[in-house]
Amino acid sequence: MKRLMTVSLMSDAGCHVELLNLHHRILELPGKVSLVYSQILMDEKELPRSVDIALVEGAVRTDHDQETLRKVREASGLVVAFGSCACLGGVPSLINPTPIQEALKSVYLETASTVGGVIPYKDVPKPLEFVLPISEVVKVDYMIPGCPPESDEIFATVTSLLEGEEPHLTEKHVCDECDLERRGVFEARLKRVHERPEPGRCLLEQGYLCLGPATRGGCKARCPGRMVPCDGCRGPSDTSWDQGLAMLDAVSATAHERIGTYELRTHAGIFHRYTYGASALSRLQRRLKK
């Protein structure tokens, strides 16, 4: 029987909820796997010394996350990153353009409700300069992206690994799974999400920043199907090495008036919302810091 552990970094827990969303299917696993450690599902304090598969949620924010992750890698035959924070840095990595001391000062000393604030430094993990996807710290064997990841993909990946098979993510983009009509005509004006779209028509063509062309499918285009622009939570497909830059290139080619003047701190939240930590821009930033 295979030994499995699940680990949360950065105090993350949302992706474990999707693990629980397997509902009755989770009962199909006990005959194939023994869950030996899980901060969410078990009252177990010590990391096991040896497991076959480790599912890791959350990015690397502190030296404690870094140390825990290295122990997990050392103890595990296979490491699977699940959720966009673990795979790509996620929303927390949007802090990376801001120096860490400036961020701590803003959070603990300068908020409107803070009086006599103190930046904590005793008996707490030390924050790293940058939020990192776990692949920047240890070797990662497989990824299940998404915010949150799809329960079906978690189940399919774990089942494949238990049966000794290679798990595969779809190579499609979100647009490949989207049924909205495309007319090949693009609005030059950028629209805000509160503006009502024309039902049934491609949101990108209507002027909404829908990241479907640069985002891995597998979600059945759930958001565009409800006339909500894709915000790219599943990260780049196999053919888009940098999701944000690919989308920036696509929008510039179809209607460059939408972009105007690019500003990193503003536009990173649009084009790299879930992937900044794994982006070429973030890697360049870290290299210049050394």
* Buried-exposed string 114-130: b where 16+ CB fall within 10 A, e elsewhere: eeeeeeeeeeeeebeeb
pLDDT at 219: 95
The string of pLDDT tens digits covering residues 31-71 is: 778 889 998 888 888 999 999 999 999 999 999 999 999 99
147 CB-contact burial (10 Å; exposed 0-12 / middle 13-18 / buried 19+): buried
The string of pLDDT tens digits covering residues 116-156 is: 899 998 999 999 999 999 999 999 999 999 999 998 899 99
The string of pLDDT tens digits covering residues 56-66 is: 999 999 999 99
**Within 10 A of 172 (CB to CB), how many other CB atoms are there?**
15
257 has a pLDDT exceeding 70:
no
Concatenated DSSP letters for 2-25? EEEEEEE-TT--HHHHHHHTTGGG
The string of pLDDT tens digits covering residues 222-243 is: 999 999 999 999 999 887 778 9
pLDDT at 32: 77
CA distances from 289 to 46, 65, 283 (A): 35, 21, 10
pTM: 0.90
Region of poorest pLDDT, from 23-27, 93-97, 158-162: 23-27
The string of pLDDT tens digits covering residues 75-114 is: 999 999 999 999 999 999 999 999 999 999 999 999 999 8
pLDDT at 89: 96
CA pair distance 16, 7, nearest whole angstrom: 9
**At 256, is the pLDDT very low, low, confident or very high (cuts 50, 70, 90)?**
low
pLDDT at 37: 94
CA pair distance 180, 183, nearest whole angstrom: 10
- Mean pLDDT for 216-226 is 95
pLDDT at 193: 84
